[in-house]
Amino acid sequence: MNTKLFDYVERHNFIYDLSGVTKFLCFMIAGAAVMFTYDIRVMVVVFVVSIIAFLLSQITFKQIRLMVIYVAIFIAMNVILTFLFSPQYGVEIYGTKHVIFELTERYTLTWEQVMYQGSKVMKYLAIIPLGMIFILATHPSEMASSMNRIGIPYKATYALALTLRYFPDVIRDYQDISVAQQARGLDMSHKEKFTKRLKNILNICIPLIFTTLDRIELISNAMDLRSFGMHKKRTWYCAKKLNAKDYLALFICIALLALSIYMIIFVNHSRFYNPFT
Amino acid sequence: MDWKKCWKFGTKTIVATALGAAIFLVLNMFVKVPTGIPETQVQTCYGVCAFFAALFGPISGALIAFIGHALGDAISYGSVWWSWVIASGVAGCIYGFAYAKLNVDEGVFTGKDIVFFNVVQIIGNVIAWIVVAPVLDIVIYSEPTNLVFTQGAVACICNVVSAGVIGTLLLFIYAKTRSTKGSLKKED
């Protein structure tokens, strides 16, 4: 089990020096830009921009190796399932049919289907590098303050900050309990039957949750003693001021969103780019 | 039914939400029970989410599922599948309405409460996974209709099992550790 999924490494470059607010907003805005469009050209533009940003951030492959594996599995599953369930969805969307080859009547591979599924994969890939930047290049303590600054109530963002703070502790508790229970003969592997495994997992969940409930008491008492939640606003220990670089990054992302909206309304007249008619 | 207590968001609720989300995240990433059908797993985290929601209310439930699922997606995949994350939040929120009637904190969890909790969690799962998640998938991502409704139905069944078995058992055990109101008597 890898507890170092969430490795924040201190670096100084263009991307790392951006404020957390900027990185969060860029992730959301660029995400919105690819969310609604199905125009592969727009998505390729977003993809190129986010790859450039990713290279600038100097995040190493070692840091993202696990993510890449997960993403590859996820995309492969999605592609296979989509084709199994609706092999003719592309034809339905684009309204034409250019056959590549025919397996059976239902499972006929068409250029339309390739276009549709290719766009879908691209839609997913385009935003991943920015997501990785937001997760890996933002100081965890800065995430909450950045979300609070764009208007999310601080009590909700404080919950997020505490989640990030206690995530490693909970993982450690989980590992301790899991190893201890396994030493007492609890089988966690897939050799056990379904019901038995559910029961074994409960044997780990129960101590984990009860230690956590004790900890909740402890932390909330400590916070209450320091008058948490007295005022409507609060200040943050980790908050950077926005400077020219931040505005540049935001400008690029807003331009991408504008491009995406422009293409939907004025060029394609729909969410789909149709090269077939 | 006490609807007012559902909307309180004090320090303890915040901390419970945060740690609940951390547990959700850990379980979401590491503890899944395969059902035998490929790519479908019973996610234990929804059982734990239902437990926390029944103890701390709908806001807490919604945030636990939302933060836990969004962070889990972001950490493992580098991006967030918003339609399902929002559906998770909706499920967590609806689980939380069980809090209005339950008094597990005071050690009360009777047969009637078990039925009520399970009715609420089933309603929550049906709305979240058979309505919200597929509809958002179609609106946001233009996924094929039959695929998303199949995925939704499978997820719904898995999460009903998870919340029903794990959630109910955890609440039952927790209620036993609490002392009931008026359990102490004055000696004659």
Interface confidence (ipTM) of the complex? 0.82
For residue B36, is pLDDT > 70?
A: no
Torsion angles phi and psi, residue B111, rounded to 5:
-55, -40
Q: Are residues A109 and A83 in the same domain?
A: yes
Question: What is the pLDDT, as a whole number, of residue A39?
Answer: 84
CATH code of the domain containing B45? 1.10.1760.20
Q: Are residues A25 and A81 in the same domain?
A: yes
A146 domain residue, yes or no: no
Q: Are residues A83 and A5 in the same domain?
A: yes
Domain that holds residue A10: 1-139+241-277
Closest chain B residue to A155 measured between Cα atoms? B14
Length of chain B: 188
Q: What is the tens place of the pLDDT at every residue in B96-111? A: 888 888 877 787 788 8
**Which residues in chain A have Cβ-Cβ distances shorter than 8 Å to B10?**
229
What is the SS3 string spanning A159-189?
Answer: HHHHHHHHHHHHHHHHHHHHHHHHHCCCCCC
Q: How many CB pairs under 8 A join A and B?
A: 167
A252 domain residue, yes or no: yes
Q: Are residues A3 and A134 in the same domain?
A: yes
For residue A1, is pLDDT > 50?
A: no
Q: Are residues A201 and A162 in the same domain?
A: yes
Judge: A86–B23 Cβ closer than 8 Å, yes or no: no
Q: What angle do CA A28, A34, A40 make, to 5 degrees?
A: 160
**Chain B contact for A35, CB < 8 A?**
yes
Q: Are residues A4 and A70 in the same domain?
A: yes
Domain that holds residue B9: 4-177
For residues A184 and B153, what is the distance between their CA atoms, to the nearest angstrom? 37
Q: What is the tens place of the pLDDT at every residue in A125-156? A: 888 888 888 888 888 778 888 888 888 888 88
Q: Are residues A222 and A265 in the same domain?
A: no
Does residue B136 contact residue B111 with C-beta atoms inside 8 Å?
Answer: no
Q: Are residues A125 and A248 in the same domain?
A: yes
A276 domain residue, yes or no: yes
CB nearest to B21's CB, from A1, A155, A163: A163
For residue B35, is pLDDT > 70?
A: no
B169 domain residue, yes or no: yes
- Name, in order, each residue with C-beta under 8 angstroms of A175's C-beta and a sequence gap of 6 or more: A1, A3
**Chain A contact for B34, CB < 8 A?**
yes
B184 domain residue, yes or no: no
Query: For chain A, where are the alpha helices, taking DSSP H only?
Result: 14-17, 20-36, 40-57, 61-85, 89-94, 111-137, 140-149, 154-183, 194-225, 244-262
Judge: B146–A71 Cβ closer than 8 Å, yes or no: no
CB nearest to B75's CB, from A81, A135, A169: A135
Judge: B76–A158 Cβ closer than 8 Å, yes or no: no
Q: What is the tens place of the pLDDT at every residue in B45-87? A: 888 899 999 888 889 999 999 989 888 888 877 778 888 899 9
For residue A2, is pLDDT > 60?
A: no
Question: What is the pLDDT, as a whole number, of residue B40?
Answer: 64
Question: What is the pLDDT, as a whole number, of residue B111?
Answer: 85
Judge: B147–A1 Cβ closer than 8 Å, yes or no: no
Residues 45-104 of B with CB under 8 A from A: 47-48, 51, 63, 67-68, 71, 74-80, 82
**Which residues in chain B have Cβ-Cβ distances shorter than 8 Å to A81?**
39, 147, 151
Question: What is the pLDDT, as a whole number, of residue A7?
Answer: 67
Torsion angles phi and psi, residue A100, rounded to 5:
-95, -60
Question: What is the pLDDT, as a whole number, of residue A103?
Answer: 79
Question: What is the pLDDT, as a whole number, of residue B37?
Answer: 61
B11 domain residue, yes or no: yes
For residue A5, is pLDDT > 70?
A: no
B185 domain residue, yes or no: no
Contacts by A14-18 with C-beta closer than 8 Å and gap 24+?
A: A14/A56, A14/A57, A14/A245, A15/A53, A15/A56, A15/A57, A15/A58, A15/A133, A15/A137, A16/A57, A16/A137, A17/A245, A18/A245, A18/A246, A18/A249
**Chain B contact for A1, CB < 8 A?**
yes
For residue B33, is pLDDT > 80?
A: no
A45 domain residue, yes or no: yes
**Which residues in chain A have Cβ-Cβ distances shorter than 8 Å to B33?**
194, 197-198, 201
A80 domain residue, yes or no: yes
Round the average pLDDT of chain B to a whole number and report it: 84
**Chain B contact for A82, CB < 8 A?**
yes
Q: Which residue has the higher pLDDT, A216 or A232?
A: A216
The number of helices, as runs of H, and strands, as runs of E, in chain B is 8, 2
B147 domain residue, yes or no: yes
For residue A198, is pLDDT > 50?
A: yes
CB nearest to B169's CB, from A35, A202, A213: A202
Residues 146-165 of A with CB under 8 A from B: 155-156, 158-165
CB nearest to B63's CB, from A93, A159, A219: A159
B164 domain residue, yes or no: yes
Q: Is the dihedral of CA A31, B59, A227, B18 positive or negative?
A: negative
**Which residues in chain A have Cβ-Cβ distances shorter than 8 Å to B166?**
198, 201-202, 205
Q: Are residues A119 and A3 in the same domain?
A: yes
pTM of this prediction? 0.86
**Chain A contact for B14, CB < 8 A?**
yes
B98 domain residue, yes or no: yes
Q: Are residues A1 and A72 in the same domain?
A: yes
B28 domain residue, yes or no: yes
* Run of H or E residues at B33: strand B32-34
CB nearest to B170's CB, from A70, A163, A209: A209
Query: How many structural domains is chain A composed of?
Result: 2
